Structure 1
C-alpha cells in the first residue's frame, strides 16, 4: 500500500528535525574547547547524575498530580497511580521514540483507553501543558530585566523580549477566547480552541484546585534548574543557583520550538549563549545541556519500562500504542458525549 501524503510528511519532518539537531550540535562543537571539556569529566559526575535521575522522577510525580487536579476540575479524576503511569508513558514518547508522534499523543491514547472521552483527554492534557508553559514564561519574565541589563548585544536582547512577550501574548489570547461572542465561537474550527480556553478558566476558577495547580506549574522548571546546576557544580563551575535560574528557563523555552528532535541542538546553543552572558565557559554549558538531555532520555526509558510492566500486554503495548496514537491524530476528536472505548 502506498504511503499517504500525511505519512510522507511525517517522515520528511522527522528527517528535517533530526538534520537540524545534528547540524546545530556540530556547529556548537566546532566552537567549544573539547579538550577543556574532557578534562572536566571525572567520577564527581556520578553523584550528580544519580541526583538528576532522582529529581526527574520527583518531577514526574508532580506532573502526575497536576494533571490529576486538572481532571478533577472537570469532574473526571483518575487514580494517582494511573496519572503517574500516564506521565511516565509520555516521558518515554518524548525522549525515546524516533517519531514525530510525541509523548502527548501516547498520553491521549492511553487516557482514551482508560475511559476518558477523547475530547476531554486532549483538552485536559493541553490545559496541563498550558500551566506548565505559564510557569516557564513567568520564570523567564522574572529574570528578563537582569539578562537584558547583562547582554551587550541588542540582537540577544530583542530575541529574549520576543520569546517572553510572544509567550505571554499567546497565553493572553488563549484566555481571552472564552469571551468571544457565541456567533463567532460557533464558527468551524473556533469551537475547539474556545473549549480549551473555557477548560483553562475552569481550573483557574476552582477555589480549591487552582492554588495547588499554580504551585505545581513551577515545580518542573525549578527541578530542571537544580539538575543543570548540579551538573555545573560537578564539572567544577562556580555558578550560583540564582544565576542558573536566569539562563536555563530561556534555554528550555527556545528548545520548546518544534523544529528539532526533543529540543536537541536548540537547547545547547541557547545555554552556551546564556552561560556567556553570566561569564561562564561554553564547554561547561555544552556539557550541562548534554548531561541534562541524556538524563531526560534515561528517565524516559525508565518511564516506558515502568508503564509497560504495569500493563497486561507489557512492552507490546508500547508498539501498539504508537500505531493507535498515530491513528488518533489523523481523526477528529469526538465530543465528550461520545462513547468511550
Structure 2
C-alpha cells in the first residue's frame, strides 16, 4: 500500500476516533450501558433482517439499471454482488473499497468494466437522490426547530450541495460535442448519459424511484426500533426527520465508514427534536454495529456462493486494491 494511501487512511481513522472521543466525553456511558437489555438484542435481530432486505432491494435496483443497458443479471447474483460491497465497506477504510470489490466481481461475471462502473455509479446516484429528497422533506421542520441559525444554514448548505452535484452530473449530457469528447470529460458524460437512459425508461423508472427510497426508509426504521428498545417513546416520523441528514453528513469522505460524523450529526439532530443525546449515541453505535455485522454476513454469503470459497475474499481484496488504483487493471472493456 502506498504511503499516501496509508496517510489518508490514518487521517480518516484519527477523525473518526477524535469525533467519537469528543462525543463520548459528554455522555453518561453508564446510563447507556444500563439500557442495553433483551429488548435491544431483539431489535438487533430485527435490524439484521431489515438490512438484508435492504441489500436485496439495492440488488434489484442495480439489476434494473443493468437491464436498461441490455445486460440482464439474475437477482441472486446481483444480491451476492451487493453483499460483497457491504463487506468491503466495513473491511476497507472507505466505501470506495466496497465499490471496487463490486466492480471487480461484476467484471468476473462478464460485465464490461466500463459498463459495470457506470451502472454501479448510476445506482448510487439514485440512492443518493432518495436520501436528498428525504432531507429536503424534513428540512423546513428542522430549520424551524433549530435554535442555532448556524445549524439551519449548515443543513441547508449540505442539502443544496448534494442537489448541486446531482444537477451537474445530469447536465453533463447536454455539453457541446466538442467538450463532451474531451478525454477528461468523456467518462463523466457517459455516466450522465447512463443516468438519463434510466430516467427516460417508462418501464424502469417507477421501480427505480421506489427502490431509491427503500434503503433509507429501512435505515430510519432500524434506528427507530433501537430507540424504542432503549425505552424512548418516539414517533417514526421524528427519526425520519433527523436520520437522513446524519447519513448525508456521514457520506463526507473524511472518516472511516462515517464513524464519528454520523454519531455527532445524530446527537445534534436528536437535540433539535428534544430527544436525549445518550439515546442518539446509543442508536447510532448500534446501527453502525448492525452494519458491520451485515457486512461480515455479506462476505460469508458471497464467498459461499463463489466456487473458490473463502479464499476468494482474500483475492477479491487484492484485486479491488488494484482496481481502486487503476480502473483498467487486468480487464478489457468489451463492447
State TM-score, norm by structure 2: 0.97
Deviation at 1:160, TM superposition (A): 0.2
Unaligned 5+ residue runs, structure 2? none
Deviation at 1:96, TM superposition (A): 2.7
Instruction: Work out the CA distance in 2 between the residues paired with 1:69 and 1:183.
Output: 32
- The partner residue of 1:110 within 97, 105, 108 is 105
Change (3 A) 1:216 1:131: same
Instruction: Work out the CA distance in 1 between the residues paired with 2:290 and 2:194.
Output: 33
Instruction: Work out the CA distance in 1 between the residues paired with 2:252 and 2:194.
Output: 24
Aligned twin of 2:224: 229
Instruction: Work out the CA distance in 1 between the residues paired with 2:82 and 2:95.
Output: 18
Q: Does 1:152 align with 2:135?
A: no
- The partner residue of 2:174 within 162, 175, 179 is 179
Q: Does 1:86 align with 2:112?
A: no
How many residues are treated as equivalent by the alignment? 334
Aligned twin of 1:40: 35
Deviation at 1:309, TM superposition (A): 0.6
Instruction: Work out the CA distance in 2 between the residues paired with 1:157 and 1:67.
Output: 34
Aligned twin of 1:193: 188
Aligned twin of 1:56: 51
Instruction: Work out the CA distance in 1 between the residues paired with 2:140 and 2:94.
Output: 38
Deviation at 1:99, TM superposition (A): 6.8
Q: Is the 8 A contact 2:97 2:324 kept in 1?
A: no
Q: Is the 8 A contact 2:58 2:215 kept in 1?
A: yes
Helix, strand or coil for the counterpart of 2:38? coil
Instruction: Work out the CA distance in 2 between the residues paired with 1:283 and 1:233.
Output: 13
Deviation at 1:325, TM superposition (A): 1.4
Change (3 A) 1:140 1:100: closer
Deviation at 1:98, TM superposition (A): 5.1
Q: Is the 8 A contact 1:101 1:322 kept in 2?
A: no
Instruction: Work out the CA distance in 1 between the residues paired with 2:326 and 2:247.
Output: 31
Q: Does 1:207 align with 2:199?
A: no
* 1:2-55 deviation line (CA, Å, top 9, x unaligned): x6xxx2111111111111101110100001122221222221111101100000
Q: Is the 8 A contact 2:64 2:208 kept in 1?
A: yes
Aligned twin of 2:247: 252
Instruction: Work out the CA distance in 1 between the residues paired with 2:212 and 2:10.
Output: 32
* 1:108-135 deviation line (CA, Å, top 9, x unaligned): 0000111111100000000000000000
State TM-score, norm by structure 1: 0.95
* 1:271-311 deviation line (CA, Å, top 9, x unaligned): 00000001000000000000000000000000000000111
Helix, strand or coil for the counterpart of 1:217? helix
- The partner residue of 1:270 within 251, 265, 268 is 265
List 4+ stretches of structure 1 deviating above 3 A. Answer: 97-101, 336-340
Deviation at 1:324, TM superposition (A): 1.0
- The partner residue of 1:70 within 53, 65, 68 is 65
